[in-house]
Amino acid sequence: MLAFVYWLKLGFICFSGPAGQISMMHQELVEKRRWISERRILHALNYTMVLPGPDAQQLTTYIGWLVHVLLLA
């Protein structure tokens, strides 16, 4: 439930487009909540830059899946 509330808040803010959302995700998920490591988010960001489509949405989908899998494991 906590993750859902965070993703909802991030979706409503939409500060400065995808670059701002990625920065906000990094600050909140890596530095503050420590749900994902610095290495893993940078690795995922590298892959989303190569794939076609919106980077922030792809990064959010991956991190959401990863957090869901880790919290249920």
Tokens 């965070």 belong to which residue?
A: 6
Taking each helix axis from N to C end, the angle separating 38-50 and 55-72, rounded to the nearest 10 degrees, works out to: 140
Phi and psi of 12, rounded to 5°? -80, -30
Q: Six-digit token pair at 62?
A: 């991956």
| Per-residue model confidence (pLDDT) at position 71 | 67
| Per-residue model confidence (pLDDT) at position 27 | 93
Domain boundaries, the chain: 21-72
| Per-residue model confidence (pLDDT) at position 39 | 95
| Per-residue model confidence (pLDDT) at position 37 | 92
| Per-residue model confidence (pLDDT) at position 40 | 92
| Per-residue model confidence (pLDDT) at position 73 | 64
pLDDT along the chain (73 residues), means of 10: 82 79 90 92 92 89 85 67
